[in-house]
Amino acid sequence: MKTMTTTAQLLEQAVAALELRPSGASYSGSFARDWMQHARRETIVKHSPADDSPLAAISLSSLDDLQQSIDASVEAFDRLRSMPAPARGGIVREIGNQLRLHKESLALLVTLEAGKITSEARGEVQEMIDMADYAVGLSRQLCGLTIASERPDHRLLEQWHPLGPIGVITAFNFPVAVWAWNAMLALVCGDPVVWKPSPITPLCSIAVQQIVAKVLAQHDLAGASTLALGGADLGMKLASDERLPLISATGSTEMGRSVAATVAMRLGRSLLELGGNNGLVVAPSATLDLARRAILFAAVGTAGQRCTSLRRLIVHRSIEAELVSSLVEAYRSIRIGNPWEEGVLVGPLVNQAAVDSYLQAIEDARREGGEVLVGGSHLHRPGNYVEPTIIRMPAQTSVMLRETFAPILYVVGYEELEEAIEIHNGVPQGLASSIFTSDLREAERFLSSRGSDCGIANVNIGTSGAEIGGAFGGEKETGGGREAGSDSWKAYMRRQTCTINYGTTLPLAQGVEFDL
């Protein structure tokens, strides 16, 4: 991708390639853009996290707009569920092909709006494509069980049916991939999707929705994917609508509690992917160079704004000095800058609020006895740039119990593996975890029921970068939801148990006798 000098030029490039310029739209001198041009709606101005320049003026959806989206989704449900699942898979294949055609432009939009470096933005769009491919295959494998019946001349089986229109609430840090984890599965399962993305990254969702809508319109399924742009009030309205049997929500634990309570009040289902506070144990037998490289990406990739980012490094005291010294040296060599520039490894935080949270966490860590070994500063230049930071802590203090969405790595030492596991599990969250060891017994202990209490547990790889083939999600305050691979598709369907009597008598289960 050709490096350009301003966000305005880059945005123009992405907009032109994605054909997102509607007739009659105008650009101001600041390159702000009104995508919907409805004066009655609330408008926000989206700024670039890289240089704080205005990218676009976005008209938010009203509550009436949301109701229309849900109405369209309900109407599309009957048509979508009536299609054979492999036919739905064919539509998802077409969506995946369109995403392939627009991969570079979508990745550029992710870079401009979320601040991800180019390779990570491309990886996120590739994840959408991979989810489409996965869902196409899944469309021929939505299998139930045939179960042995205790009654003669009876067949007992279970089958899966489309659940209904679902609401999907996504976060800014993966502005398109998390939608795909849900939407690709939902569509092949027969469920329309109403998407409420983060208001921090609206342009990415507009672009994806436009691509998807063109494909669905060709199959008379225009309402099978709809978009509602807005904040928490819109999200809670979505969560309270009884026509949506499932709400999948990704974001903070506080948001998840509100969504879960609202959905539970109407006895709906919620699928929650919430906070992470991920730990990595380095044992004495670990290959330190391998651990160092894994720690570096897990801790500073996406500027520490992944739910699977490494927050806590728990290292055996016999190797602590050597490993930490090599990490400090590596941190000092990291290039920070405009995320689209070649060679940059760390881009900006998403906004000023994230910078403030970063600075507050460092202040709290120092107050609790932490020693900043490298980093710790806000870079005073246009944009939301901070230094990746390593802080040695005397123990696991209160600042380490909360998730700070920034490139801060806390380091604590340990003597025995049991102590390391206790430290690791001693936080409210339970998403991703890892151990670096060459000792088989230590690895198996970490993966056992008495080891990591997280939904994801790794050996000799970092905490971030999960593959779509496995179910993604965590325990405790992470919410318990599972998305993407394995049998996550079952969340988007309803199970039906069926019994067929092909005999001439009517035996009852459990040997019950009831003669008339």
pLDDT tens for residues 50-69? Answer: 999 999 888 899 999 999 99
- Dist CA 265 CA 258 (whole Å): 11
What are the tens digits of pLDDT across the range 376-385?
Answer: 999 989 999 9
Domain total in the chain: 3
The pLDDT-based confidence of 494 (bands split at 50, 70, 90) is: very high
Same domain, 390 and 483: no
Cα three-residue angle 387-253-299, rounded to 5 degrees: 25
Q: Which pairing describes strands 225-227 and 154-162: parallel, antiparallel, or unpaired? A: unpaired
Identify which of 214, 200, 130, 150 has the alpha carbon closest to the alpha carbon of residue 172. 200
Identify which of 138, 108, 132 has the alpha carbon closest to the alpha carbon of residue 122. 108
- Residues with Cβ within 8 Å of 481's Cβ and at least 6 positions away in sequence, in order, are 248, 270, 271, 272, 273, 473, 491
Percent of the chain residues past pLDDT 90, beyond the cut: 89
Q: Is residue 122 part of a domain?
A: yes
Same domain, 208 and 82: yes
What are the tens digits of pLDDT across the range 458-475?
Answer: 999 999 988 999 999 999
CATH number at residue 384: 3.40.309.10
Asked whether the predicted pLDDT for residue 490 surpasses 90, the reply is yes
Q: Would you call 307 a catalytic residue per the annotation?
A: yes
Q: Is residue 149 part of a domain?
A: yes
Same domain, 231 and 373: no
Asked whether the predicted pLDDT for residue 289 surpasses 70, the reply is yes
Same domain, 492 and 347: no
Task: Judge whether 279 and 314 are in contact, CB under 8 Å.
Answer: yes
Same domain, 327 and 212: no
DSSP 8-state assignment for residue 507: P
DSSP 8-state assignment for residue 95: H
pTM for the full predicted model: 0.94
Across 387-414, average pLDDT: 98
Predicted confidence at residue 114, as pLDDT, reads 97
Identify which of 430, 446, 429 has the alpha carbon closest to the alpha carbon of residue 283. 446
Across 217-235, average pLDDT: 96
Q: Would you call 273 a catalytic residue per the annotation?
A: yes
The pLDDT-based confidence of 489 (bands split at 50, 70, 90) is: very high
CATH number at residue 241: 3.40.605.10
CA distances from 424 to 223, 276, 392 (A): 45, 12, 16
Residue at token pair 């202040």? 363
DSSP 8-state assignment for residue 33: B
Same domain, 52 and 192: no
Print the domain residue range for 411.
278-459
What are the structure tokens assigned to 57, written together? 């003026």
- Dist CA 314 CA 134 (whole Å): 35
Same domain, 17 and 164: no
Same domain, 334 and 407: yes
Which helix (H) or strand (E) segment holds residue 121: the answer is: helix 118-138
Q: Is residue 308 part of a domain?
A: yes
DSSP assignments along 242-262, one per residue: TT-SEEEEES-HHHHHHHHHH
- The mean of the pLDDT values for the chain is 93
Predicted confidence at residue 23, as pLDDT, reads 32
Helix (H, G, I), strand (E, B) or coil at 207: helix
Predicted confidence at residue 10, as pLDDT, reads 86
Same domain, 104 and 250: yes
Asked whether the predicted pLDDT for residue 337 surpasses 50, the reply is yes
- Residues with Cβ within 8 Å of 482's Cβ and at least 6 positions away in sequence, in order, are 271, 455, 471, 472, 473, 488, 491
Domain end among 57, 72, 99: 57
Q: Is residue 265 part of a domain?
A: yes
Q: Is residue 80 part of a domain?
A: yes
The pLDDT-based confidence of 432 (bands split at 50, 70, 90) is: very high
Same domain, 172 and 204: yes
Torsion, Cα of 491, 242, 252, 396 (10° steps): -70
- Give backbone dihedrals phi and psi of 430, rounded to 5 degrees, phi first: -155, 55
List residues bridging with 59 in a β-sheet.
43
- Residues with Cβ within 8 Å of 198's Cβ and at least 6 positions away in sequence, in order, are 170, 171, 172, 175, 251
- Dist CA 260 CA 269 (whole Å): 8
Same domain, 181 and 311: no
Q: Is residue 1 part of a domain?
A: no
Asked whether the predicted pLDDT for residue 111 surpasses 60, the reply is yes
Which helix (H) or strand (E) segment holds residue 195: the answer is: strand 193-196
Q: Is residue 509 part of a domain?
A: no
Region of residue 37 (left: phi > 0; alpha: psi -120 to 50; beta: else):
left
Asked whether the predicted pLDDT for residue 38 surpasses 90, the reply is no
What are the tens digits of pLDDT across the range 17-37?
Answer: 887 754 333 323 333 333 444
Same domain, 119 and 46: no
What are the tens digits of pLDDT across the range 350-385?
Answer: 999 999 999 999 999 999 999 999 999 999 899 999
Q: Is residue 512 part of a domain?
A: no
Region of residue 181 (left: phi > 0; alpha: psi -120 to 50; beta: else):
alpha
Task: Judge whether 73 and 127 are in contact, CB under 8 Å.
Answer: no
| Active-site hit among 189, 307, 320, 403 | 307
Q: Which pairing describes strands 483-484 and 471-472: parallel, antiparallel, or unpaired? A: antiparallel
The pLDDT-based confidence of 5 (bands split at 50, 70, 90) is: low
Which helix (H) or strand (E) segment holds residue 263: the answer is: helix 253-265
Between residues 441 and 514, which one has the greater pLDDT? 441
| Active-site hit among 273, 320, 387, 483 | 273
Task: Judge whether 50 and 7 are in contact, CB under 8 Å.
Answer: yes
- Residues with Cβ within 8 Å of 470's Cβ and at least 6 positions away in sequence, in order, are 456, 484, 485, 486
- Give backbone dihedrals phi and psi of 229, rounded to 5 degrees, phi first: -100, 125
- Residues with Cβ within 8 Å of 108's Cβ and at least 6 positions away in sequence, in order, are 1, 10, 13, 14, 118, 121, 340
What are the tens digits of pLDDT across the range 139-172?
Answer: 999 999 999 999 999 999 999 999 999 999 999 9
Across 257-270, average pLDDT: 98
Across 420-433, average pLDDT: 98
